[in-house]
Each structure stands twice: as structure tokens, then as C-alpha cells.
């Protein structure tokens, strides 16, 4: 009898597939070590670490500001005339009362002499009227002149008295105009560029003036902060506390000057939700200049005895803020933290860390829970020594 052919090839294919699956499972799961063992076999990741410290953390409010001169004066002539002398140098620091320019004083000297001559003539007439009134008084007692004639002479004497006062006022005015011919500095400050040259005719109605003087010592900075930060500032000012302010450069890296908060504006800008503040700086070294852009750091408070770490150590993820804590076995732990006030380089930690804890500040992109690290301090090489220059 003939046997039917056996279909053995499907069994062969199934056996091959089964062997492939077993091999893949062994490769994927069978030989994988535990996470601790795997971390132990991997090379240590080089990182830079820092030690958390306990200290005082200043709380700053920051805002963008512009330097403004504490006083700015456009010096103008108060009389008309020819400018015959300019006594200042452009950019010179002048003091209140210093001579800046001289207007031809001769017309005003003539007016003064005329007023003095008028006063002398009227004084002579007043003296004559006084003597005449005395004679009229005697004649009236003798009933030689009428009461009307006596009254007319008394009135004439009084008119000359009023004329004397007017003449004296004219003299004072002429002297004042003569004084105005000397243009002096109304404030102490730095002169700008000269706006008019000697020889020109200047008038009191000119809009440009002779020069602009700005007071640079002290100098002011106007800056803004969010309106939500206004209540604690007002609380400090109301209590009579003086808030320190520091001015930093455009890059917010270098401190230029130190001063104090002077006042707060009386209204909030609704379009931006900010309020303007003015700080005053001594500016003894002249580092601040009008219209200069600065970053202002206003010291609001100091948090005492808190844990402080570098800002670079703080990481942010889907579960919030955390740091990589280096444990005694050189492995890292993901430690959730609550961040308090932060500055440009350091931040306070409310909860999650203690003083002397070691955290990673550089090399965090390659770290996971349990990663073994090779730690070094900032500025040191992997061996713990300073690199050669």
C-alpha cells in the first residue's frame, strides 16, 4: 500500500520561529542585570558638584530702569543783548553761582545811571516841597494862606514821596537787569554742549538757551516692578526702613553703583501692570550717566539661616523642581525640593535638602536615578587638583 506524503515543512518553520523567539527573549530580558548591577558595571559619569550651605539669603526685587539726572536745568538768558563771553568749557563740572556767560552790560549800566539821576532830581524836589510845606504851615497858623493852599502843598509833598519810591524801584530793577547780564550756574552739575556762541544776540524769549546743566551727584534711577510686589515695598517704607538698591549693567552681570530707594510713584500703570520707583545713588565715581539703561536690584529682605545651593543645581521636570543628590556610594538620588527666594547665582531651599548635602551642578543631562558619578568641585579637574594654566 502507498502511504500519503507527509507535510513536514510547516513543523520545520514552527521550530525555527520558536528558536528565534527564545533567542530574542534571552537577548532582551534573560541576560539584563538589575538596575543596581547595571549601574555598577557602567563607567562613572563625570560631574561637577557643590555643597549646600546654611546661610543668609537676600531677597531681591529686580526691575528695568533708566538713569535720570537728579536735576536738569536749561540755562537761558533773562535779558536781551549780545553775548560777549562764554566762561565754561563743554563737559565741565560747575558749581552753583559760577559764571557761565556774560551779556554786554553797558545798556543796563546806562539804565541804572538814568534811574539814579531821576532819583536825585526827585529827591531835590521832595526836599523843596518839604520846606515849602513847612512855610505854609507857619503861614496857615498866621492865617496868611488858606486851608486849600496848605492842603495842595501837602499833597504835592506826598506826590514827591511816592515818586521817590518809584525811582528807587527803577534803580533796583536796573541793578537786577545788570545782574542778569551775568549768567551764572543755578545748580551744581555737569555742563553739556554749548548751544550759542559768543557774538550772537540772545533774548529772554529764546527756547534753546545757552547750555544744559545736569546734576550727576547724586543721581536718580527710575525703574519698574510688578504691582504684586508693591505691598511689601510700601510696608517697609511706611515703617521707615531704608531699602538698599544696586544698579547693574545692561547684561545684569556687573554691579555699577549702590544707593537706596527714594520714593514710589503714586499710581500704577494699568497697561503694563507695573509701578515706577525712584532710587538715589551718590555716584561719586560718575559711573552712572543720564539715560543709561540699568538693571536695579532692590533688597527687600534677608532670609536668615536657610539652606543655599547654586541655581545651576536646581532642575525642573513634570513633577516639579528637584536636584541630583550625591550619596555616600557615589550614586545620585533624584531629590524633590521646594525652592525659596533665588538670586542670580544662588537659591534658597525651603525643604528637601540639608546643609552639607552634595548636589550636582554640571553634567545633569546624563544622570538618572542611581547613576554612579565621578564628582569634582568647580574649578578642579577629575583628580581633584587645579588644572594647569
State pLDDT tens for residues 136-171.
787 778 777 778 877 777 788 777 788 888 889 999
Q: What's the start-to-end Cα distance of the chain, in Å?
A: 97
Residue with cell 525811582: 167
In angstroms, the CA 213 to CA 69 distance is 9
| Structural domains for the chain | 35-52+314-376 (2.40.420.20), 64-69+218-300 (2.40.30.170), 71-103+181-215 (2.40.50.100), 105-180 (1.10.287)
Taking only the tens of pLDDT, the chain with its 389 residues reads: 455 555 556 766 677 777 776 666 665 544 444 444 554 556 888 999 999 999 999 999 999 999 999 899 999 999 999 999 999 999 999 999 999 999 999 999 999 999 999 888 888 888 888 888 787 787 778 777 778 877 777 788 777 788 888 889 999 999 999 999 999 999 999 999 999 999 999 999 888 899 999 999 999 999 999 999 999 999 999 999 999 999 999 988 899 999 999 999 999 999 999 999 999 999 999 899 999 999 999 999 998 989 999 999 999 988 899 999 999 999 999 999 999 888 878 999 999 999 999 999 998 888 889 889 998 877 555 455 454 44
Share of the chain above pLDDT 70, in %: 88
CB neighbour burial string for 51-76, b if at least 16 within 10 angstroms, e if fewer: ebeeeebebbbbbebebbbbbebebb
pLDDT digit string, tens, across residues 4-38: 555 556 766 677 777 776 666 665 544 444 444 55
Mapped onto helix, strand or coil, the DSSP state of residue 342 is strand
- What per-residue confidence (pLDDT) applies to 8? 59
Contact between 363 and 375 under an 8 Å Cβ cutoff? The reply is no
Pairing verdict, β 255-269 and 211-214: unpaired
**Neighbouring C-alpha atoms within 13 Å toward the C-beta of 9:** 1
- What per-residue confidence (pLDDT) applies to 3? 52
Amino acid at each position: 500500500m502507498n502511504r500519503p506524503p507527509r507535510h513536514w515543512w510547516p513543523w520545520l518553520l514552527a521550530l525555527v520561529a520558536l528558536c528565534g523567539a527564545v533567542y530574542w527573549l534571552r537577548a532582551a530580558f534573560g541576560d539584563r542585570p538589575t538596575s543596581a548591577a547595571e549601574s555598577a558595571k557602567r563607567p562613572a559619569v563625570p560631574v561637577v558638584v557643590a555643597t549646600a550651605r546654611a546661610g543668609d539669603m537676600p531677597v531681591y526685587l529686580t526691575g528695568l530702569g533708566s538713569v535720570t539726572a537728579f536735576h536738569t536745568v536749561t540755562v537761558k538768558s533773562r535779558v536781551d543783548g549780545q553775548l560777549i563771553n562764554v566762561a565754561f568749557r563743554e563737559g565741565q563740572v560747575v558749581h552753583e553761582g559760577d559764571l557761565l556767560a556774560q551779556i554786554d552790560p553797558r545798556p543796563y549800566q546806562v539804565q541804572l545811571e538814568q534811574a539814579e539821576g531821576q532819583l536825585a532830581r526827585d529827591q531835590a524836589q521832595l526836599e523843596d516841597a518839604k520846606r515849602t510845606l513847612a512855610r505854609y504851615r507857619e503861614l496857615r497858623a498866621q492865617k496868611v494862606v488858606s486851608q486849600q493852599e496848605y492842603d495842595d502843598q501837602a499833597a504835592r509833598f506826598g506826590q514827591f514821596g511816592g515818586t521817590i519810591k518809584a525811582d528807587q524801584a527803577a534803580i533796583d530793577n536796573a541793578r537786577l537787569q545788570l545782574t542778569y547780564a551775568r549768567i551764572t550756574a543755578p545748580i551744581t552739575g555737569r555742563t553739556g554742549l554749548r548751544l550759542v556762541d559768543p557774538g550772537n544776540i540772545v533774548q529772554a524769549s529764546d527756547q534753546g538757551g545757552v547750555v544744559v546743566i545736569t546734576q550727576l551727584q547724586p543721581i536718580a534711577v527710575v525703574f519698574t516692578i510688578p504691582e504684586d510686589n508693591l505691598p511689601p515695598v510700601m510696608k517697609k517704607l511706611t515703617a521707615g526702613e531704608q531699602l538698599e538698591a544696586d544698579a547693574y549693567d545692561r547684561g545684569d552681570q556687573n554691579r555699577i553703583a549702590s544707593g537706596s530707594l527714594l520714593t514710589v510713584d503714586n499710581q500704577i500703570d494699568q497697561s503694563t501692570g507695573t509701578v515706577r520707583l525712584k532710587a538715589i545713588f551718590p555716584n561719586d565715581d560718575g559711573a552712572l550717566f543720564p539715560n543709561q539703561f540699568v538693571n536695579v536690584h532692590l533688597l527687600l529682605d534677608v532670609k536668615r539661616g536657610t539652606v543655599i545651593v547654586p541655581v545651576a543645581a536646581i532642575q525642573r521636570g513634570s513633577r516639579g523642581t528637584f536636584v541630583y543628590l550625591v550619596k555616600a556610594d557615589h550614586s545620585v538620588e533624584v531629590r524633590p525640593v521646594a525652592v525659596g527666594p533665588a538670586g542670580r547665582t544662588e537659591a534658597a531651599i525651603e525643604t528637601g535638602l540639608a546643609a552639607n548635602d552634595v548636589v550636582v551642578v554640571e553634567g545633569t543631562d546624563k544622570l538618572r536615578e542611581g547613576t554612579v558619578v565621578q564628582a569634582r568641585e568647580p574649578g578642579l579637574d577629575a583628580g581633584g587638583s587645579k588644572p594647569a594654566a
